[in-house]
Structure 1
């Protein structure tokens, strides 16, 4: 399996555009998959430099209904004329930041004929599926309490039922791809118990104060209990990443624009 980071907050390659967002290209033995599209068309421009032909992608997955993961979707639909796009049925609901700023998907895409609405579990292949884990208990915090959704015309704390995870089993290993892990990275690892997890942990709002360090210590201890290899990015934050790495060591890696993973 090969994973290429088309778009992320950081880049060490001057040819590539970085922006707050995420987009991954995933190539398995059977499929070419686009996972999220960042907030602009930068992912598509970066794909050209990275030798990724988006026209050959045979399916796309939207992790959740936020602009920094879906803003480039219209560009993808224009470049690629055939791939279905799997989006959770709640992703097109309104989503807000704590300051009431709109951070949701473009409503104009809701009726697009290639958008495939998903619910809790959808099998895409014998060894590939989407799941939201909405029916599972959440014993650990989500670290996304400042984000809102609009239901029945009223803002309320987001329950992130619109977030879904891509699960791929190849050569006996389970790889889970998560966008921002808004339901809580510790919950996701406990639910799915992957061999490899790729995605954001949503720790970026944590500072260097004592309470934040205690939160990260707690997270690091629990993540270390699983034999999982972690590739993180985007909303984890560089400071929290470096702090977590003190505990997780070589099992934790950071993905920037242009990073490539080859999984055996």
Structure 2
């Protein structure tokens, strides 16, 4: 088994400056004959990039939405309009909570999905809500949810809320999911934003599978992390001897520079248009 991950859109421009970029994330994954899409960016411009990169989105087997923020689900309706609905959709059980960000005292800005459950039903999209901790798409590909808290230094940003019955409640991101692919060297994990903490996510996966982590790709939400959290996160990566750290999106410049400094060649900035290929034996 081998696989290829193409970053269709991300915050930063591609190396040749010919693709669209935006505050968002969308990843196209080919695993043997299977084709998956994780997240759809903010605007849907990932579709234009896919065309330029000669990525065919008409043959998707699965679409996964890592969590219900606009910069990861904003392009979903354009995807449906573009390809119809031949794919199966996998989401966290609480994806359709109304999500908000507190921008100033008592001022909440909507940051959730631009579609709801009715839209999914109206378009006859087969959907799986992740209720279980671990779901196998096949023997080599798994989806993980319900992440556990495994340390004392990762906390969910207090600016994020859900609205329920007219009240704003802190969002603990019960909708967050991640993908893991088995390789001969361990699991290759793909995340969206890691709101619950990248180390919490990885340690939960290690505990549940009994497998080591070989590589990680996606956003780590270290943009708001202080020096202590960044240092402890880097130490975790070292302790677990993770070989590939392909971060971007919400990782932040400060954390990016520290990871690059401390982990050298293991770190890769995963900007728009980047392609990672893993040959598994």
TM-score, normalised to structure 2's length? 0.86
Shift of 1:172: 5.5
Q: Does 1:102 align with 2:121?
A: no
Matching of residues 111-260 of structure 1 within 5 Å: 111=121, 112-114=123-125, 115-120=127-132, 121-134=134-147, 136-140=148-152, 141-171=154-184, 173-193=186-206, 194-206=213-225, 212-228=226-242, 229-260=244-275
Shift of 1:171: 4.2
CA contact (8 A) 1:143 1:203 kept: no
Deviates more, 1:212-221 or 1:47-56: 212-221
Q: 5+ unaligned residues in a row in structure 1: which ranges?
A: 207-211
> In 1, Cα distance between the equivalents of 2:193 and 2:16?
24
In the other structure, the counterpart of 1:5 is 7
- Number of aligned positions between the proteins: 258
Question: Which secondary structure state, in structure 1, belongs to the residue aligned with residue 41 of structure 2?
Answer: coil
> In 2, Cα distance between the equivalents of 1:87 and 1:171?
27
Shift of 1:160: 0.7
> In 2, Cα distance between the equivalents of 1:73 and 1:251?
32
Shift of 1:190: 1.6
Residue among 68, 73, 82 paired with 2:71: 68
CA contact (8 A) 1:41 1:75 kept: yes
Higher strand share: 2
Give the CA RMSD over aligned residues: 1.7
> In 2, Cα distance between the equivalents of 1:164 and 1:154?
25
> In 1, Cα distance between the equivalents of 2:58 and 2:266?
34
In the other structure, the counterpart of 2:31 is 28
TM-score, normalised to structure 1's length? 0.91
In the other structure, the counterpart of 2:42 is 39
> In 1, Cα distance between the equivalents of 2:166 and 2:158?
19
Question: Which secondary structure state, in structure 2, belongs to the residue aligned with residue 263 of structure 1?
Answer: strand
CA contact (8 A) 1:175 1:196 kept: yes
What are the Cα deviations for residues 98-138 of structure 1, in whole angstroms up to 9, with x where unaligned?
A: 2211011123435342133222332211221211134x334
